[in-house]
């Protein structure tokens, strides 16, 4: 390549040929000196130049091919050099990594050496502990041996003590037998002497007591007989005198006016001296108005004489028996008498707490019977979630034929389900909400506020013992939940009337028991919240509701005593609630709280609740409100708006 590059090309050699240069120059001179008419003869120099040019072209092409070949080799060498550089870099990186790993390995080696030293120290410590444990074990074995010896000695002592105990028991039994025999002998002697003494004492006492009693009885009989005779004679004399006065007054109306003043004065004096004149006239006259008209006429139209001073002291006035019995004039309202509990029957009934497993509430209908079923005008029904949706659909399609006043939808007080809003809005039926209260939390406040915002009544089953702190927290919970609400719907509390109670506690002790005193104060505090109502439900007393008899059917005395016991306890709790809440905020229901463990029959509880309420001496309006009117206001929203 180098030789081809630096060697002269054929074209240069031709151009540097002296023969070619000399012939060319002489030819030009000759051409100038001679005429051009004579033709020129061509020289061979152009052919040589063309050949030289061709050769030059060939060599140029050869050089190009050499250059291409050299360029390819150069690129290959460059690539090889780059590969070598890359391998060198990779080798350097591997070397650095190897150095790093070597350093790490060296550090790990040092750490392992330190760990080995530490483990050796720990092994020595463990060996020391092992030796100490072995020494302690040997000491404990020695103690065990000594304890075993002591235990054996104690067993021997126990055996000896058992023998002594058996001997002593035999002696005690012998002494007891002798004591019983002696006691029996003493009892026989005591009975014998008692009978003898009783007979002797009875004879002596009879003789002494008969004489004394005869004297005392005779004196007392004479005294009482004289007193009663004087009283009867006085009454008889007064009656005769009053009859004479009436006859004299009748004669007075028909006699002359000259004798009028004297007779009126005598009649008026007789009236003035007899204090019970009006009372004596009632059985003698046919109507009370006749006496009033006669007296009015005598004082209004007859001349009144001056009254003479009294000759005898006037007796204190006495209420006549007629004040305690209504007259036979149809004015019974003026003389109210407490009605009989059996006569106070609600005209209509709404059961505000019916818990059923099916939408047809067949079990409730079976327990209610004909007596209660004929009075039912509505129920507040609580169902499981699956049955609730079915019942809502049926009620929506045919609401007029249903006795359901409202459906109860349960929710978690601390975590209400947002899906309930859709269920309530699409139900197309009256809805009330129910929940269980156990403690006060901020979540409970928000949950109750969520329920009240919808405008539905909320039933709260109180399943916690209301201490003073919890009651204060519960009041604060309701205050926060109802704050800033334009209208607050009713809040109905259950498991309060009656509260959970221990039936083993006697009523005498219950009256002054701290739980009963706390119940009275708690009920008074809750009644200050105007939106709060109380449900009258079967109590959670861990006992079934006593069975009440059908009208005219026999019932055992034990069942009667149990029913009376239940009614006495219920009235103890019902009284303070009536005083605090009044009859306008008590609602009857037949299903017990979910916390109750005792079963309850609908008809039995209805009779016990009705009789307990009626025995408090209330009126018919009270009974109708508790069993019908209040539930209609709360769950049907009639005649009352939310506060």
For 376, phi then psi, to 5°, come to -70, 130
Range with the poorest average pLDDT among 171-185, 252-266, 528-542, 561-575 = 252-266
Yes or no: say if 359 and 382 are a contact pair by the CB < 8 Å rule.
no
326 has pLDDT over 70: no
Instruction: Give CA–CA dist 613/575, Å, rounded.
Output: 9
Enter the DSSP assignment of 308.
P
635 and 379 Cβ atoms separated by less than 8 Å: no
Contacts of 361-368 spanning 24+ positions with Cβ under 8 A: 364/590, 364/602, 367/601, 367/602, 367/603, 368/590, 368/602, 368/603, 368/606
pLDDT digits (tens, 9 = 90+) for 233-247: 777 877 787 777 777
* Alpha carbons 276 and 274: distance in angstroms, whole number: 6
Q: Which residue has the higher pLDDT, 468 or 268?
A: 468
The helix/strand/coil state of 349 is strand
pLDDT tens digits along 26-56? 555 455 555 545 555 555 567 788 888 888 8
How many percent of the chain have pLDDT more than 70?
A: 75
pLDDT for residue 339 = 60
The tens digit of pLDDT for each residue in 415-433 reads 998 888 888 888 878 899 9
Q: pTM higher than 0.75, yes or no?
A: no
Mean per-residue pLDDT over the chain, rounded: 79
Residue 447 to residues 454, 456, 461, 481, 487, Cα–Cα distance (Å): 12, 13, 14, 8, 17
Contact (CB, 8 A) for 249 and 295: no
Question: Cα 553 vs. chain centroid, distance in angstroms?
Answer: 39
Does residue 600 contact residue 368 with C-beta atoms inside 8 Å? no
Tell me: pLDDT of 446 over 90. Answer: yes
- Residue 563 scores a pLDDT above 60: yes
DSSP state letters, 1-48: -HHHHHSPPHHHHHHT-HHHHHHHHHHHHHHHHS-TTSPPPPPSHHHH
Which residues pair with residue 459 across a beta bridge? 434, 492
Number of helices followed by number of strands (H, E) in the chain = 18, 8
pLDDT above 60: residue 590: yes
User: Sorting pLDDT into bands at 50, 70 and 90, what band is 6?
Assistant: low
**How far apart, in Å, do the first and last CA atoms of the chain sit?**
117
Mean pLDDT, residues 192-218: 78
Residue 101 CA to chain centroid, in angstroms?
Answer: 70
Q: Out of 34-38, 57-61, 163-167, 601-605, pick the least confident.
A: 34-38
What is the pLDDT confidence band of residue 286, given thresholds at 50, 70 and 90?
very low
Buried b (16+ CB within 10 A) or exposed e, 360-384: ebeebbebbeeebbebbebbbbbbe
Q: What is the pLDDT of residues 471-501, one digit of tens each?
A: 999 999 999 999 988 899 999 999 999 999 8
Residue 466 reports pLDDT greater than 80: yes
């Amino acid at each position: 390549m180098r030789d081809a590059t630096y060697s002269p090309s054929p074209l240069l050699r031709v151009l540097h040929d002296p023969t070619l240069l000399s012939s060319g120059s002489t030819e030009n001179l000759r051409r100038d000196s001679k005429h051009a008419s004579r033709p020129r003869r061509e020289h061979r120099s152009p052919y040589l130049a063309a050949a030289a040019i061709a050769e030059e072209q060939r060599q140029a092409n050869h050089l190009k091919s050499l250059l291409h070949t050299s360029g390819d080799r150069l690129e290959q060498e460059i690539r090889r050099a780059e590969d070598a550089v890359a391998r060198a870099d990779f080798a350097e990186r591997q070397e650095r990594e190897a150095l790093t790993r070597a350093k790490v390995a060296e550090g790990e080696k040092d750490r392992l050496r330190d760990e080995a030293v530490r483990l050796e120290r720990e092994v020595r410590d463990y060996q020391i502990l092992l030796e100490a444990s072995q020494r302690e074990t040997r000491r404990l074995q020695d103690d065990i041996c000594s304890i075993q010896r002591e235990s054996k000695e104690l067993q021997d002592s126990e055996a000896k003590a058992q023998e002594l105990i058996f001997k002593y028991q035999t002696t005690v039994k012998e002494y007891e037998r002798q004591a019983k025999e002696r006691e029996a002998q003493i009892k026989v002697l005591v009975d014998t002497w008692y009978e003898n003494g009783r007979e002797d004492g009875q004879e002596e006492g009879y003789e002494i007591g008969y004489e004394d009693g005869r004297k005392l009885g005779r004196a007392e009989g004479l005294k009482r007989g004289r007193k009663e005779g004087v009283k009867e004679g006085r009454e008889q004399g007064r009656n005769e005198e009053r009859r004479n006065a009436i006859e004299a007054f009748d004669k007075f109306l028909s006699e002359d006016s000259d004798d009028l003043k004297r007779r009126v004065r005598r009649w008026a004096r007789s009236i003035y001296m007899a204090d019970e004149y009006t009372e004596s006239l009632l059985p003698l006259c046919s109507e009370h108005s006749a006496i009033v008209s006669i007296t009015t006429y005598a004082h209004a139209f007859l001349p009144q004489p001056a009254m003479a001073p009294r000759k005898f002291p006037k007796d204190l006035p006495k209420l006549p028996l007629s004040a305690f019995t209504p007259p036979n004039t149809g004015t019974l309202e003026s003389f109210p008498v407490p009605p009989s509990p059996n006569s106070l029957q609600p005209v209509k009934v709404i059961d505000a707490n019916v818990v059923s497993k099916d939408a047809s509430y067949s079990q409730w209908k079976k327990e209610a019977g004909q007596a209660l079923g004929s009075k039912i005008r509505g129920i507040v029904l609580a169902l499981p979630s699956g049955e609730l949706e079915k019942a809502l659909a049926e009620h929506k399609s045919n609401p007029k034929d249903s006795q359901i006043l409202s459906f109860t939808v349960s929710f978690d007080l601390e975590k209400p389900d947002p899906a309930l809003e859709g269920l309530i809005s699409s139900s197309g039926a009256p809805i009330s909400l129910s929940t269980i209260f156990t403690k006060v939390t901020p979540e409970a406040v928000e949950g109750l506020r969520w329920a009240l915002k919808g405008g539905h009544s909320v039933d709260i089953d109180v399943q916690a013992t209301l201490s003073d702190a919890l009651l204060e927290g519960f009041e604060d919970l309701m205050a926060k939940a109802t704050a800033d609400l334009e209208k607050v719907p009713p809040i109905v509390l259950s498991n309060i009337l009656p509260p959970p109670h221990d039936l083993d506690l006697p009523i005498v002790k219950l009256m002054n028991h701290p739980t009963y005193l706390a119940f009275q104060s708690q009920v008074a505090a809750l009644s200050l919240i105007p939106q709060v109502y109380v449900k009258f439900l079967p109590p959670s007393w861990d006992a079934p509701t006593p069975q009440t008899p059908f009208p005219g059917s026999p019932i055992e005395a034990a069942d009667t005593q149990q029913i009376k016991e239940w009614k006495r306890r219920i009235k103890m709790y019902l009284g303070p609630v009536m005083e605090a809440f009044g009859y306008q905020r008590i609602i009857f229901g037949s299903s017990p709280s979910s916390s109750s463990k005792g079963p309850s029959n609908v008809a039995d509880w209805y009779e016990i609740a009705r009789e307990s309420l009626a025995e408090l001496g209330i009126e018919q309006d009270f009974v109708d409100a508790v069993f019908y009117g209040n539930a209609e206001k709360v769950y049907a929203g009639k005649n009352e708006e939310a506060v």
